[in-house]
Amino acid sequence: MSTCADTLFTTTDINGLAIRNRFAVAPMTRISANEDGTASERMARYYERFARGGFGLLITEGIYTDQAFAQGYHHQPGLTDEAQGLAWRPIVEAAHRHGARFFAQVMHAGAISQGNRFRDGTIGPSAVQPRGSQMEFYYGKGAYPAPSAMTDGQIAEAVDGFAASAERAVAVAGFDGIEIHGANGYLIDPFLTEHTNRRGDRWGGDARARTAFAVAVIKAVRAKVGGNVPVGIRISQGKVNDFTHKWAGREQDCGFRRKPATHSDAKPASVPI
């Protein structure tokens, strides 16, 4: 009879991509990139240690997606141009040499950006000031300013940024898969959240309608990277600026009911999008 520990060391796959075990490095903000958003030597050492240590899957920290409003922190890495993509390539190749798979987490900070070298001000689905205060350990200070409500053009630009950075992650940097960051208060999340999305157009409304932006991003990314590259999305209720937030509709806002776990359900399923 196999145990949970035995399962951790078995191979699995995500959309056909073989992964040697069930150990994965979660994305963790590190603000250790170069000022221009290129990946640094410090980052290279950090990720290679996990691959060399035997982790089957690495997921990057959040990587900003455009040269407009996406950047969230000073010294955050980007994937907005060829130079930034090429800087990631030797890091990905080092992980591959040690047998690990590597996914890029693509992220737009939205209204909780606190360090953007491309733009002054922030944007969000609606002009609602984010709760909480900026994170001082990421060089922020004071309350978050109120964002400008996004125009249709800015929404299209943000969607295109996710898609282009995902394509660059695969084609230029050599990443094996994409995780879309839709959690923690970053741009996709306030579109999903009732008190930060007060739009009366096709991007707002009830819980199902508020998923429109996330769906647009997923479709655009999938169209750019093709059907064989694993693509997933990370979502959460809590946010870096509002840890205890819960969706008003709780389980109903998720759109599904959990079924009781059975023995046949024990093996995690791959759910490509």
Note the residue count of the chain: 273
Segment 169-198, tens digit of pLDDT: 999 999 999 999 999 999 999 999 999 999
21 within some domain: yes
106 within some domain: yes
**121-130 b/e (C-beta count within 10 Å ≥ 16 → b):** ebbbbbebeb
For the chain, give the mean pLDDT: 92
Q: Which domain holds residue 239?
A: 4-245
207 within some domain: yes
Segment 68-79, tens digit of pLDDT: 999 999 999 999
Segment 202-260, tens digit of pLDDT: 999 999 999 999 999 999 999 999 999 999 999 999 999 999 999 888 777 776 444 54
Residue 38 near residue 79, CB atoms below 8 Å? no
198 within some domain: yes
Average pLDDT over residues 3-24: 91
175 within some domain: yes
31 within some domain: yes
Q: Is 226 helix (H, G, I), strand (E, B) or coil?
A: coil
Annotated active-site positions, please? 186
27 within some domain: yes
Pairing of strands 12-14, 17-19: antiparallel
76 within some domain: yes
CATH, residue 102 = 3.20.20.70
C-alpha 203/C-alpha 219 separation (Å) is 15
Number of domains in the chain: 1
Looking at residue 252, what is its pLDDT? Answer: 78
